[in-house]
Amino acid sequence: MKIIMLGAPGAGKGTQAKKIAEKYQIPHISTGDIFRANIKNGTELGKKAKTYMDQGLLVPDELVCDLVVDRLQQEDCKKGYILDGFPRTIPQAESLDAALCEIGASIDYAIDVEVPDENIVSRMGGRRACVGCGATYHLVYAPTKAEGICDSCGAELILRDDDKPETVQKRLDVYHEQTQPLIDFYSQKGVLKEVDGTMDMEDVFTAIIGILGA
Ligand code: ADP
Ligand code: AMP
């Protein structure tokens, strides 16, 4: 099963992708997580990506596409995968299509998690990320057991630089301009499925299972 998660930043793609990956036993591939790991490790890619991420801009396609295509060739992707945060532009979607076409494959589902911009601003303001393992929480909707401490690894939680209000609006503008056109792109391919992302996390997940099958 090859799945793409679509939706605005903060719509809940990562939250749902983790649950889907666990249920269907497929790898969860998040380009945002890959970039953040590179930044943490001080790699050249991380240094380049950070300059764009901090401004709420997309990392250029040429730094993203090869990275994902290489990742999809790894052994664990043979039985499928869930892509979270990729593709984010039409050229990225075309490059993914070309790579899949070469092996006679295609995307099975593009799940669009729909959340209006007004809700996004409060979601992102309350999101907290673990500096150790990258796990994501929310001050109100997904709190940790002990305040400010990751449930999984015990490290400190932070507000991501790109979740600060001034950057969130820029990311939303970038989403509408560059990523939203993918909804039509995948609709035309007949694989688009829309889910109401304003529901509780568990209800969103139930709706997604309804689409993918139990
Ligand atoms: P994305 O991967 O699309 O950027 P996340 O999955 O990180 O979004 O979710 C953004 C924030 O909103 C996180 O803090 C997460 O805990 C919270 N969240 C996710 N889904 C829901 C939901 N259905 N209702 C309320 N909060 C949610
Ligand atoms: P995310 O964690 O998916 O919200 O991604 C965080 C940031 O990483 C984005 O705002 C972009 O700057 C960058 N990024 C992640 N995925 C991509 C992508 N597919 N194309 C371009 N930039 C990306």
Q: Which atom of ligand 1 has the smallest separation from the CA of 142?
A: 16
- Residue-level pLDDT at 214: 78
18, exposed or middle or buried, with CB in 10 Å at 0-12, 13-18, 19+? Answer: middle
- Residue-level pLDDT at 117: 94
Length of the chain: 214
The domain spans of the chain are 2-116+171-212
**pLDDT tens-place string over residues 72-128:** 999 999 999 999 999 999 999 999 999 999 999 999 999 999 999 999 988 999 999
- Residue-level pLDDT at 208: 98
Establish whether 128 is a catalytic residue. no
- Residue-level pLDDT at 122: 85
The reported pTM is: 0.97
Residue 61 Cα, ligand 2 centroid: separation in angstroms?
11
* Domain 2-116+171-212 -> CATH class: alpha beta
Task: Please state, in angstroms and as integers, the Cα–Cα distance from residue 184 to each residue in 9, 17, 188, 193, following that order.
Answer: 18, 21, 6, 11
Establish whether 88 is a catalytic residue. yes
Which of these, 82, 67, 121, 62, lies nearest to 3 by C-alpha position?
Answer: 82
* Pairing state between β 2-6 and 109-114: parallel
Which DSSP symbol is given to 164? S
Cis omega (within 30 of 0) on the bond before 165?
no
Q: Check if 120 has its Cβ closer than 6 Å to any atom of ligand 1.
A: no
Taking only Cα atoms into account, the Rg of the chain, rounded to an integer number of angstroms, comes to 16
Catalytic residue chosen out of the listed positions 2, 36, 88, 128: 88
Residue 200 Cα, ligand 2 centroid: separation in angstroms?
24
Residues of the chain with pLDDT under 70: none
- Residue-level pLDDT at 127: 95
Establish whether 71 is a catalytic residue. no
Residues 152, 133 contacting (CB under 8 angstroms): yes
Contact residues of ligand 2, CB 6 A cut-off: 9, 31-32, 35, 52-53, 57-59, 64, 85-86, 88, 92, 162, 171
Taking phi over 0 as left and psi of -120 to 50 as alpha, with beta for the rest, 93 belongs to alpha
Instruction: Please tell me the distance from the alpha carbon of residue 35 to that of residue 56, in angstroms, as a whole number.
Output: 14
